[in-house]
Amino acid sequence: MSEESKTPPPESHLEGRIAELERALAAEEKRSGELVDRLEKARQGKEPDFCYDPEEWEFTCDWAERDQVHGHGEALEGSEPMKVATLIRGPSKWVADVLITWDVDGEPDETEIQWFDSEEEARAAAYLKPEVSADE
């Protein structure tokens, strides 16, 4: 084993990694709290009944048919999540067109509409990209 491989990462790299992990922990704590709230609402029968695009109030649909609110993907702009308001004092939901497969060159190939409870989750999923190793 060479001496170079025993050298610890630079301090700035560690600080960046610590900050990244702290953000992930904060997001997970928030998500856990939101999940507990959703579970309690579900137990009380308070899932949203309806949803709509708060930018265009012209169209409201049943929560069971919520994919209509974004036109089954037609209203989604690239990887930008769309805020969806709900009726019954439920929290806002976020919908994003998430890349699920990439071609051999690492270019986007296939997407899937996914729903999220927070903008952070939607943005994280919308911008996920596979890691390409230097060997490829």
Q: Full-prediction pTM beyond 0.85?
A: no
Residues 54 and 40 in one domain: no
- Contact, 75 vs 82, CB < 8 A? yes
Residues 34 and 57 in one domain: no
- Contact, 78 vs 66, CB < 8 A? no
Give the rounded distance of the alpha carbon of 34 from its chain centre: 14
pLDDT tens-digit map of 102-129: 888 888 788 888 999 888 898 888 876 5
In total, how many domains does the chain have? 2
Residues 35 and 98 in one domain: no
pLDDT tens-digit map of 61-110: 887 888 887 777 777 887 788 888 887 755 788 898 888 888 888 887 88
- For 34, the domain range is 1-46
Residue 59's closest CA among 71, 41, 46, 43? 71
Residues 130 and 81 in one domain: yes
Last residue of a domain, one of 13, 28, 46: 46
Residues 35 and 53 in one domain: no
